[in-house]
Structure 1
Amino acid sequence: MLKLARRGGAWTFVAGTFFLTVLSPACAAQESPNPTYIVRHDRWSDSDERDYEHFIAAIGESDCATLNECLHSRANPFAASDPPSRRFESDCADLPYVLRFYFAWKRGLPFSYASAVAPRDGSADDIRYSRMGNKVSARTDVRSGRNALEAIARLRADISTATYRIHPDLDGTDLYSPAIKPGSIRPGTVVYDTAGHVAIVYRVDPDGRVHSFDAHTDFTLTQMTFDVRFARMRPSQGSGFKNWRPLRLTGAERAADGSLRGGHVEIAANKDIADFSTEQFYGTGPRPADAAWASGPFTVNGERLDFYDFVRARLAGKLMFHPVREVAEMTGSLCNDLQYRAAAVDLSRALASRPHPVRLPRNIYGTDGDWEMFSTPSRDARLKTAFKYLRDTAQRFVEMDRKGDRTHLAYSGTDLPADLLKAYRRAAAACTISYHRSDGSTVSLSFGEARARLFALSFDPYHCPERRWGAHDPRELATCREDADKRAWYDAEQPLRNQIDRTYDARMDFTLEDLHHQPAIATPDTDVEGYLEQITRKQARN
């Protein structure tokens, strides 16, 4: 984490010789607890955009656990303008919009958003997962005099992940597809995963790694780096990086108090945005047809790369891995993910005492109500993907080292597998995950124990906390208050727990009997320690 320090009238994050100036608290002190939204400027200036970047970076670098904590913390330069009783909540889809509007409100800037979308082919059952994507069907300009808190509530009701599922060629949207280059991928850039998740970039490292934070249905915030957890999908589904379009309030009248009243917000078109680009969808060569979108190559300095390496290479200027450091940091990030999961499971404990429904939701990954709020199938699938990615990345580094690749591998030691194993073990040893059993007692798991239980962790909120954490020892399970029906559901859901891919278009409203006929699914290898131990033992024998 960066450290917060005071320099003159501004808050500054300090990391070595790098200084990131955030907004002056004096700006916030001038704000009133009055929730009225007043527009005083007809557009967002370059300075406003830079300050918004600093605002997002400060939240991302803080240790706040929810949006409400963040906006009432010193990470927010406007915190003094909000009474302690004022509460802010957001899930993943709402978060970019809530933060963008909040900043606009506090700075007197215009704001407009797509308040409704519809499937382009008119055939989607759930527009959050429409196959051919969506189009904007209505817009809302938030006008001076509106109660800002009511506007946020309305905005949250209007926005879903369907809002992001839009082809990059379409105008009239809130966000556009930027070029993958320094300055274009920046704090405040939005990242959309078509499997139904959204995050906000808060930092780009010198080596090109992109850090983001996201929100969940329980309103907790978590952090992650950009990797294979954000899958590339067809352009019509709008996956990947997105920036806010420039906008301008036209036709407004300046009132006696200096506010701008009335008027209409105009949104910049793709052709008028300097860094608009569809290269993240079609590659860096000639644009292929939409049907062949995945065939487009990604090339940097004459070298063909996969998409994720391309992003790093473009943002850093060259593709360079620091294997020992990266394995340690990825392990630490997974520890954080496990801690976040512990908090989420704790919030769902009350549901474990209720009878299990006779059917699962139509799709366990995309639904609503108690299941959406308290289940963890998407979170768990992303966790499994991240563990697999760590194991695969360690193998990739070992194979690059064997080939003597020093063009992309920054390593000066003599035994990379052993050094990776040491780095992994140090990071893992620093991680303990604790959860509360059904009787309130605490169980602590090591990082290795949590990884070994990965495919036993129940995503089902109607299961006891012990099952949610994959307990198998009778002593640990002794406090689990489950009947035979709950146990049968836990056992029958194993094929769903073995899934690492989230399939949002599949029917999953299974009964217990239906689950008994689901095919077995093999689990991928997520054991990075086992892999590195095997390599080091083989080297020792040779």
Structure 2
Amino acid sequence: MTRLAALGAVVCLTCPSCRDDSPVTERRDPSCPEVRRVAPPLANVAPEHEQLEYWLTRAEAYEPVDTPLLAPEEVQRHNIALGELIDGEPLGHADLAAPVDEAALLAQVGERLDYLRAKLGDGTLVDAKGKAIEADALSPFDQPDGLELLQQWRLAEALKPLRCGPYPEGLYHIPVDLDFDRNRCSTIRPGEVVQLLSRWPNGLFLARTPYALGWVTGKDLSGPLSPESLQRELARSEPPPFTRRALLTEAFSLLGAPYGWGGKDGGYDCSRFLLEVFGRFGIDLPRHSARQAKAGTFSVDVSEVRDLNEKRLLLEAAARRGIVLLRFPGHIMLYLGTTEEGIPMAMHAFSEYLTPCEGTELETVNRVDRVAISDLSLGEGSSRTDFLSRITHLTVIGRTPGPALAANAVLRPSAPMARPEGACRDSQSNAIFASPRRPHATQPLRVIATSERDPGIAALVLYGPNGEQVDAEERILDGPPFSRFVEVAQPMPGKWTAVLGEGDRTLACHRFVVASRAPRGPRRQPAGPAWATTRQWSRSTENLYSAFIEQLFRDPEDEDVTWTRLQEVIGDPKRNLLYDYRLQGEDARLSLEPDCADLPYFLRAYFAWKVGLPFAYRTCSRGRRDQPPVCDPAVFSNLDLQEAATDVGAFRSFMRRVAGTVHSSSPRTRPDEEETDFYPLRLSRTAIRPGTVFADPYGHVLVVARWKPQAVDDYGVLIGADAQPDGTVGRRRFWRGSFLFTPKTDLVGAGFKGWRPVGFDSEAQALKIATNAELRRAGRVKAWSDAQYRGTADDFYSAMEGMINPRALDPVRMQTSLVDALEESVQRRLSSVQNGEDFMRSQGYATIDMPSGAALFLTSGPWEDYSTPSRDMRLLISIDAVTSFASTVAAHPDRFGIREADRDNVVAEVRQALAEEIGKRTFQYTRSDGSAWSLTLADLVDRSSAMEMAYNPNDCAEIRWGAPQGTEEHTTCKRHAPEEQRRRMEKYRSWFATRERPH
């Protein structure tokens, strides 16, 4: 929030619930009074809703109510972070014992005076009689040339108004309501420390408390405090543990307390109520609601969320992370949770809300004037609308956002760190790596930090050889694991320190030297291993591998992008965290072009080569109709000798051997097999990390690239990278149409697979490969698990969708997302069909041989390159997923946060959204005569049956897009597959009709 915006918050202060001060002139019916006093409980609040025990029971749904939300040291770091100066003033509390920055204070005061002078000049602010302030009384609002600092500290001895401006009386809006003094920024309570900063010409003092700046009179103040007395007064006793039970207990102790704008008469406005409650746990919240909304662990902007059910789901997701504050302009509330009926409620200090009068445009002001519990429907139908609709920000004090809110969460600033002077070390859980492996001043420096678990609020900070912190932009990846990196274009030679942490909490520390010039690379023996093994696979190197994969395929966001070959990606220094890591200009000398099955092997081997890790692979059978694929006991590895003069040449030679050995069945071995390159993982976000391999039952292989978190206005996505037979590399979102799965394991082991850990015994110069039993015992991320295969395919997809979108999704938005995915599949098929047409034309339309049986889907040569049976099978499954989604919503409304009473209406909205979306999404293909023909996705859905026999490149483009015979679209078709092929296609059609491909 800018300082000028903050001034508006100060003078408009807090919590009248956006009071409407316009005069009322229309005659009023007795049933529609202008003002009504509302006795407790408020509408829709049952007696049990005003009982502490009720909400303690409800809070158990989030977590045990005695679990600490912030440890004492976390509270301390929170306060330190909020106490850092921004534009000369802290977001949280000021340190009254710290030296005063006179220039910053003068600037702050000057902006305040300018703002108030303008409001007084235009008549916005008047005195208690509704009259403008006399001109001669405005001189205290003149800008001072400087401040003569007093630096005195005193104690308040009675309730004392802290004035927003240098004027000793109240200021009001018209019509005047003496309950709302716009010149009362706060009320200082007895015993609070007041710092007198400067005497004003009219006898007032510019003063501040820890939470507010303003002007006071000299009345009801103690004598000056000695330095020793000041320290005693500012010293804090140890606060109680910050738990849900303790917080709610303190809040309920103030239930029914009188309301007071700006703390008038010792009452509570909305922000003072929260300041007091959280202050009892040592948490220093700002004084005003707009700033309190920025003073949590994190906040989420929900101002654009129009759907109230979606907003309720966001409230509940936030409540699972800690204590939630609900803010709309001018007001802030403490969220309590939902009732058994799912109705959200809050506790807040507030003055009033509006209700409309029936049959007229008039409204009644309902005066509450106390700390009360209410639901969020207050104001429904009024000119201000209901409270839930008006909420613009959710502020959480507790844990960091988690996957349900991370995409839109704004974290508080991290507390500043000091350069460690003593021991400096990292760990497997939190590690720091420098790239290149021997940094030097003539190559950009990249420092990467990885964390097994969410590190919470933390920063990666670099200190140069001069001991000063280096200004470098921190880039944070999504995780898990949780990684971040910084770059320095021209690092200074000398000893550097990298620290991951916050304040006095150091998670990892790493010292390294930047050389003044590039070191020479190691010489290679003509016949030696592909590369030397200098490190071991561990949690830290596995985490680095995940960071490498995520950054490699991360950008651009929200685009269906394709690269012509993997080398385009690897050779991009912005994507590749390990670019030129080996200091040999190696990435400019490679040409990596894997196909589908090669991609995971190429990525893993490339990373292992760069970092000096062991890498192993096996020869595996492809499997047959009655026999699953199996792998040989013999292992090939980077220890195998390569005849090559250079390091890069040895790696190229090694990768040619890999490409000639592995194939799409290599990752599809049964889950209980031991002699494999991969093993099955449990279904969790931490296990299915970037770099994980997904093998579908029919031969396609993907590499998990990123968990894109669910956003306030968008769905989450699990993104995979894949390669095609022609060497192109692209990204796919996880859904039924792209990640095909079966839980059957008699002939295949589909699903998510991890790389079987490979260790290196340097004494024996041999590899040690983990067994399934060892992986079961390993636990954590590495654990072997057959959980994927225990249920149905529906169970698998349901579990994955729950992880991808941990917050229940708006079903209409989800339907749209499925159409998005279908459209992406169609766009990819357009390229494949056109590639086939171009090839046929280049070959004079010579007939391509068609394989028989299951080889239709998995072979080599032109049929593999230009036919689309696998793609079309996925497309048909995609169409089914899109068109059946409304039925899924009807059968499982709870998955989407839909109440039973709303189910039928929501299902109708979903069906309407489907019809609209597929009706307006269009694409064009090129017909045989070169003309373009447009279709909608709705046309394609209607042609599902024709698409069961549209994969043969010997057919014309019109047939491959399902053009009905006898139509204008079909008239340009001049080419058909041979009759013998058509007969076999008819025989195989049942595979496509049932969406079950043979093994």
Question: Do Structure 1 and Structure 2 share a fold, with TM-score over 0.5?
Answer: yes
What is the deviation of 1:38? 3.5
Quote the residue 1:532 is aligned against: none
Quote the residue 1:438 is aligned against: 928
Quote the residue 2:890 is aligned against: 398
User: Which residues in structure 2 correspond to 1:69-80 (within 5 Å)?
Assistant: 69-73=568-572, 74-78=574-578
1:249 aligns with one of 760, 779, 792 = 760
What is the deviation of 1:395? 0.8
Give yes or no for contact 2:683–2:787 (8 Å, CA) kept in 1: yes
Give me the whole-angstrom Cα distance separating, in 1, the residues matched to 2:708 and 2:688.
11
Give me the whole-angstrom Cα distance separating, in 1, the residues matched to 2:929 and 2:553.
35
Quote the residue 1:21 is aligned against: 484
User: Which residue type is aligned with residue 993 of structure 2?
Assistant: Q
Relative to structure 1, is the Cα distance of residues 24 and 263 closer, same or farther in structure 2, using a 3 angstrom cutoff? farther
Give me the whole-angstrom Cα distance separating, in 1, the residues matched to 2:930 and 2:521.
40
Asked whether 1:53 is paired with 2:550, we answer no
Relative to structure 1, is the Cα distance of residues 148 and 40 closer, same or farther in structure 2, using a 3 angstrom cutoff? same
What is the deviation of 1:160? 0.9
Give me the whole-angstrom Cα distance separating, in 2, the residues matched to 1:245 and 1:269.
8
Give me the whole-angstrom Cα distance separating, in 1, the residues matched to 2:595 and 2:726.
7
User: Which residues in structure 2 correspond to 1:504-515 (within 5 Å)?
Assistant: 504-505=998-999
What is the deviation of 1:467? 2.1
Give me the whole-angstrom Cα distance separating, in 2, the residues matched to 1:185 and 1:504.
27
Give yes or no for contact 1:177–1:277 (8 Å, CA) kept in 2: yes
Give yes or no for contact 1:250–1:265 (8 Å, CA) kept in 2: yes
Relative to structure 1, is the Cα distance of residues 175 and 346 closer, same or farther in structure 2, using a 3 angstrom cutoff? same
User: Which residues in structure 2 correspond to 1:381-530 (within 5 Å)?
Assistant: 381-401=873-893, 406=894, 408-411=895-898, 415-425=905-915, 427-428=917-918, 431-457=921-947, 458-472=950-964, 474-482=967-975, 486=978, 493-494=985-986, 496-497=988-989, 498-505=992-999
Quote the residue 2:499 is aligned against: none
Give me the whole-angstrom Cα distance separating, in 1, the residues matched to 2:749 and 2:638.
25
1:264 aligns with one of 751, 766, 769 = 766
Asked whether 1:109 is paired with 2:608, we answer no
Quote the residue 1:336 is aligned against: 824
Please state whether the residue corresponding to 2:857 is helix, strand or coil. Answer: coil
Q: Structure 2-normalised TM-score?
A: 0.41
Relative to structure 1, is the Cα distance of residues 101 and 444 closer, same or farther in structure 2, using a 3 angstrom cutoff? farther
What is the deviation of 1:427? 4.4
Quote the residue 2:870 is aligned against: 378
Asked whether 1:347 is paired with 2:835, we answer yes
What is the deviation of 1:242? 0.7
Please state whether the residue corresponding to 1:191 is helix, strand or coil. Answer: strand
Please state whether the residue corresponding to 1:138 is helix, strand or coil. Answer: coil
Please state whether the residue corresponding to 1:451 is helix, strand or coil. Answer: helix
Give me the whole-angstrom Cα distance separating, in 2, the residues matched to 1:192 and 1:106.
26
Quote the residue 1:526 is aligned against: none
Give yes or no for contact 1:463–1:482 (8 Å, CA) kept in 2: yes
Please state whether the residue corresponding to 2:602 is helix, strand or coil. Answer: helix
Relative to structure 1, is the Cα distance of residues 205 and 334 closer, same or farther in structure 2, using a 3 angstrom cutoff? same
Relative to structure 1, is the Cα distance of residues 450 and 219 closer, same or farther in structure 2, using a 3 angstrom cutoff? farther
Relative to structure 1, is the Cα distance of residues 307 and 14 closer, same or farther in structure 2, using a 3 angstrom cutoff? closer
User: Which residue type is aligned with residue 543 of structure 2?
Assistant: R
Give yes or no for contact 1:456–1:494 (8 Å, CA) kept in 2: no
Quote the residue 2:475 is aligned against: 12
Give me the whole-angstrom Cα distance separating, in 2, the residues matched to 1:459 and 1:32.
54
Give me the whole-angstrom Cα distance separating, in 2, the residues matched to 1:33 and 1:452.
62
Q: Structure 1 vs Structure 2: percent identity of aligned residues?
A: 26
Bigger CA drift: 47-56 or 409-418?
409-418
Give me the whole-angstrom Cα distance separating, in 2, the residues matched to 1:456 and 1:149.
45
Quote the residue 1:293 is aligned against: none
Quote the residue 2:428 is aligned against: none
User: Which residue type is aligned with residue 812 of structure 2?
Assistant: V
Give me the whole-angstrom Cα distance separating, in 2, the residues matched to 1:30 and 1:411.
62
Quote the residue 1:229 is aligned against: 740
What is the deviation of 1:156? 1.3
1:177 aligns with one of 672, 680, 686 = 680
Relative to structure 1, is the Cα distance of residues 448 and 171 closer, same or farther in structure 2, using a 3 angstrom cutoff? same
Deviations 1:452-490 (A, max 9, x none): 23332410122222222222365434443326x658855
User: Which residue type is aligned with residue 365 of structure 1?
Assistant: F
Bigger CA drift: 379-388 or 216-225?
216-225
Give me the whole-angstrom Cα distance separating, in 1, the residues matched to 2:552 and 2:686.
19
Q: Does 1 or 2 have the higher relative contact order (CA < 8 Å, sep 6+)?
A: 1
Quote the residue 2:359 is aligned against: none
User: Which residues in structure 2 correspond to 1:87-236 (within 5 Å)?
Assistant: 87-114=591-618, 116-118=619-621, 126-127=622-623, 131-143=627-639, 145=647, 147-204=650-707, 210-220=718-728, 221-227=730-736, 229-234=740-745
Quote the residue 2:785 is aligned against: 278
User: CA RMSD of the aligned region, Å?
Assistant: 4.0
Give me the whole-angstrom Cα distance separating, in 2, the residues matched to 1:433 and 1:84.
38
Relative to structure 1, is the Cα distance of residues 152 and 237 closer, same or farther in structure 2, using a 3 angstrom cutoff? same
Relative to structure 1, is the Cα distance of residues 127 and 328 closer, same or farther in structure 2, using a 3 angstrom cutoff? same
Give me the whole-angstrom Cα distance separating, in 2, the residues matched to 1:156 and 1:195.
19
What is the deviation of 1:191? 1.4
Please state whether the residue corresponding to 1:201 is helix, strand or coil. Answer: strand
What is the deviation of 1:334? 0.9
Give me the whole-angstrom Cα distance separating, in 1, the residues matched to 2:896 and 2:630.
41
What is the deviation of 1:104? 1.7
Bigger CA drift: 190-199 or 319-328?
319-328
Give yes or no for contact 1:192–1:198 (8 Å, CA) kept in 2: yes
User: Which residue type is aligned with residue 571 of structure 2?
Assistant: H
User: Which residue type is aligned with residue 270 of structure 1?
Assistant: N
Equivalent pairs, count: 457
Q: Which has the higher helix share?
A: 1
Give me the whole-angstrom Cα distance separating, in 2, the residues matched to 1:433 and 1:32.
54
Deviations 1:89-112 (A, max 9, x none): 222211111111122222232211
Give yes or no for contact 2:924–2:933 (8 Å, CA) kept in 1: yes
What is the deviation of 1:360? 4.1
Give me the whole-angstrom Cα distance separating, in 1, the residues matched to 2:957 and 2:751.
34
Please state whether the residue corresponding to 1:161 is helix, strand or coil. Answer: coil
User: Which residue type is aligned with residue 328 of structure 1?
Assistant: T
User: Which residue type is aligned with residue 456 of structure 1?
Assistant: A
Quote the residue 1:44 is aligned against: 537
Give yes or no for contact 2:708–2:718 (8 Å, CA) kept in 1: yes
Structure 2 spans left out of the alignment, 5+ residues: 1-406, 409-445, 447-459, 461-470, 492-516, 525-529, 642-646, 711-715
Please state whether the residue corresponding to 2:890 is helix, strand or coil. Answer: helix
Relative to structure 1, is the Cα distance of residues 200 and 265 closer, same or farther in structure 2, using a 3 angstrom cutoff? same
Give yes or no for contact 1:332–1:428 (8 Å, CA) kept in 2: no
Quote the residue 2:856 is aligned against: 364
Deviations 1:282-324 (A, max 9, x none): 53xxxxxxxxxxxx699xxxxxx833324445x4797945422
What is the deviation of 1:237? 2.2
1:62 aligns with one of 530, 552, 555 = 555
Relative to structure 1, is the Cα distance of residues 12 and 19 closer, same or farther in structure 2, using a 3 angstrom cutoff? farther
What is the deviation of 1:340? 0.8
Deviations 1:9-60 (A, max 9, x none): 6773678xx9963686979x98999998543523123332222212222344
Give me the whole-angstrom Cα distance separating, in 2, the residues matched to 1:213 and 1:102.
16
Give me the whole-angstrom Cα distance separating, in 2, the residues matched to 1:378 and 1:330.
20
